[in-house]
Structure 1
Amino acid sequence: MKKNVVVIFGGDSSEHDISCLSAQTVINNMDREKYNVIKVGITKEGKWLLVDHVKDIEDGSWREGEVRALISPDTDSRSLIILAEGTYKMQKVDVIFPVLHGMNGEDGTIQGLFELSKIPYVGCGVLSSAVSMDKVYTKIIVDRLGIDQAKFVHVRESDFKDDDLTDAMDRVEAALSYPVFVKPSCAGSSKGVSKARDRKELREALYEAIKHDRNILVEETIIGREIECAVLGDRSEAEATCVGEILAAADFYDFDAKYNNQESKTVIDPDMPQEIKEQIRKDALEIFHAVDGFGCARVDFFLEESGRVVFNEINTMPGFTSISMYPMLWKACGIDTPQLIDRLLDLAMTRYR
């Protein structure tokens, strides 16, 4: 019997368009002999729509659809509710693949709905999604592991009261030296990230970051190579790939450098000492387990010229586009994208056993 797989994509985050690209890769690489693929897109306005064809995702016409499709939170039904022309039907669902990046997709929000429904789903659960999405709280967890990471200051929404950031900027300058990076804690995909070289730029960067999240991470600048490692597994056993390197075309790997600049490149298994590669793989697995990871994650590091490995961040639903590091790293390990999707769906099916 084919399994009914609901692929959910889009969403109201700043990574909506990247999610649509990732979903196309996932859908196109699913074995139709094993899976009946049901496509559900969430518009930027939050409408859930049933999508007929992959080409509708490619050209964006799916957003004009009229048939609503909602995951039922009812544990007994474990179904997709399809609403059309004043009628409804319940479509049984075996497993959900939420190809969603950023807020309301990768932060534990939608995972809570899946937990209510008790439908198995790909990827990390509520807790691991939430803490991994929040850069501040990820750093608090990684601090306990003794793994090196950049020094940081946490700036809150309350620091913006009366339009006076003096206290927050004083805290930053007392702890860190310029230049610093200013990041929304939960925005994802480098949206709202700025580099500040002085107090004036720090103020501007803080006001840019607060547009995207109520918590802000201000970090010391780490000069080093940008290295990534992919993880696959469950809470008891996981495996990590070889490492990949990002060669960013910009001053830092922001959203435009990642997706819009043709000069940005990725290198699989770059030249570096083997012991450093092994340390990165070990640290990636340790961080994955520390945040209660399940299914998949991509863990990002910096490698300083001295050989020091510095943790950057963890992504619990990494990109699946044609230029995304996660599937490329697994392909280098001999697992192509259809096999990788099979592994992720198989893992998801063990979630409630």
Structure 2
Amino acid sequence: MLSPRVLILAGGLSHEREVSLRSGRRVAEVLREAGCEVTVTDVDDRLLDTLRSGQIDVVWPLLHGVNGEDGAVRDVLELVGVPYIGSDPAACRLSWDKSVAKSVAAEAGLTAPRFVALPHGIFRELGANRVLTSIVERLGLPLVVKPARGGSALGASAVRREESLPRAMVDCFAYGDVALVEQQISGVEVAVTVLDTGDGPVALPPVEIVPDSGFYDFDARYVAGATEFFCPARLSDEAEAAVKAAALSAHEAFGLRHVSRTDLIVDKTGQPWFLEVNVAPGMTETSLLPMSIEAAGLSPASVYRQLVERALV
């Protein structure tokens, strides 16, 4: 196919709408450089007509958050029968809920921090103070609090003192009904991209993440200059091999395809700890996946075009 017709889905109604729009614009620019015909559209009542028009060869869902990463939109693409880049609905559902994802990762032999996942209602029924005290007694400090379903670290915060935990829970519940509270592992935070453009999944150089604030929250992710990145990460050869193996294990265990990103912490012994896996990694100017592609000596235009062609097979 000389000039594949690609429809990029960007925007949506989640809290991560602006991030999605930025990802969509950036990928569209690169695909046009690669010789593709590209249209960027939001998810609205005109989408099904567009998908059925016969004018689209492949869809690239770059929707973040609910509907974009929980498999719902991909279910629609399956119903219509339009090829798309990325994981299928079942894999998305496994990855979307962080508490479920940690169970899947554990079954695959990956190490994850201890955690609890609690809905907002449990605090009201049992008494917030009692529940919070039990969390600290069981998991200790420091902790990380984040929505069990969601991305871009919206509603996420680090808790180093017990008196800070109630505020962190309030912030978390502003973005979701279920809070994931987990041990904060000390170490080097890395993100590992896995690509499969036709010859099997390959782990790209890991990106080391060093936020100025000490915690990789929303601002640290999307405000230019708020975080320092090192790619490849400053790891020993053994630790780098371990994080790549962990990302490949996650990619396989979750049944992912085409592209994924696994977030990990490497402790002082070189042990990788699984945090989460992403089926729709950010593709903005400050996102991690493009850094990994360039560090691997690859051309983003070439990789994105290969992903398009892979989805059409």
TM > 0.5 fold call: yes
SS of residue paired to 1:10: coil
Q: Which of 247, 251, 268 pairs up with 1:284?
A: 247
1:80-99 correspondence runs (5 A): 80=51, 90-99=53-62
Structure 2: distance between partners of 1:31 and 1:170: 54
Show the counterpart of 1:153. 116
The CA deviation at 1:170 is 4.1
Structure 1: distance between partners of 2:232 and 2:85: 27
1:174-193 correspondence runs (5 A): 174-193=137-156
Partner deviation per Cα, 1:152-174 (whole Å, 9 max, x = no partner): 11112331335832453244123
Partner deviation per Cα, 1:197-222 (whole Å, 9 max, x = no partner): 34432222222212212221101111
Show the counterpart of 1:201. 164
The CA deviation at 1:69 is 3.0
Q: Which of 286, 291, 302 pairs up with 1:323?
A: 286
In the superposition, relative to structure 1, how do residues 246 and 177 fare at CA in structure 2: closer, same or farther (>3 Å)? same
Show the counterpart of 1:6. 7
State whether residues 145 and 169 of structure 2, in contact with CA within 8 Å, keep that contact through their aligned partners in structure 1: yes
Structure 2: distance between partners of 1:193 and 1:32: 36
Show the counterpart of 2:16. 15
Question: Which has a greater percent of helix?
Answer: 2
Q: Aligned residues, how many?
A: 312
SS of residue paired to 2:104: helix
Structure 2: distance between partners of 1:279 and 1:160: 38
Show the counterpart of 2:37. 36
- Cα RMSD (Å) of the superposition? 2.1
Compare CA radii of gyration and give the structure with the larger one: 1
Unaligned runs of 5+ in 1: 43-47, 49-67, 73-78, 82-89
Q: What letter is aligned with 1:93?
A: I
Q: What letter is aligned with 1:80?
A: L
Report the identity percentage: 27
Structure 2: distance between partners of 1:229 and 1:127: 22
| Alignment of 1:131 onto 2:94 | yes
In the superposition, relative to structure 1, how do residues 115 and 339 fare at CA in structure 2: closer, same or farther (>3 Å)? same
Structure 2: distance between partners of 1:211 and 1:243: 32
The CA deviation at 1:234 is 7.7
SS of residue paired to 1:97: strand
Question: Which has a greater percent of strand?
Answer: 1
Unaligned runs of 5+ in 2: none
Partner deviation per Cα, 1:208-259 (whole Å, 9 max, x = no partner): 2122122211011111111111101289931111211011111200001111
Structure 1: distance between partners of 2:309 and 2:41: 21
Q: What letter is aligned with 2:196?
A: G
The CA deviation at 1:129 is 1.3
State whether residues 197 and 307 of structure 2, in contact with CA within 8 Å, keep that contact through their aligned partners in structure 1: no
